[in-house]
Structure 1
Amino acid sequence: MSENWIKVYTTSDAFAAEVLKQGLTEAGIPAVTINKQLSAYHLGEIHVLVSKGDFNKAIEYLVQNEIE
Structure 2
Amino acid sequence: MEQDWKKIKDYTNAIEAEIVKQMLEESGIPAIVLNKQDSSYLVFGKIELYVNQQDEEQALMLIDSTVEKED
Q: Structure 1 length normalisation: TM-score?
A: 0.92
Match of 1:12 in 2: 12
Aligned length: 67
SS in structure 1 of the partner of residue 54 of structure 2: helix
Match of 1:28 in 2: 28
More helix per residue: 2
Which runs of structure 1 show a deviation greater than 4 angstroms over 4 or more consecutive aligned residues? none
- Unaligned 5+ residue runs, structure 2? none
- Within 5 A, what are the aligned runs for 1:21-60? 21-42=21-42, 43-60=44-61
Cα distance in 1 between the residues matched to 2:5 and 2:48: 11
Cα distance in 2 between the residues matched to 1:24 and 1:63: 12
> What letter is aligned with 1:12?
T
Q: Structure 2 length normalisation: TM-score?
A: 0.89
Match of 1:66 in 2: 67
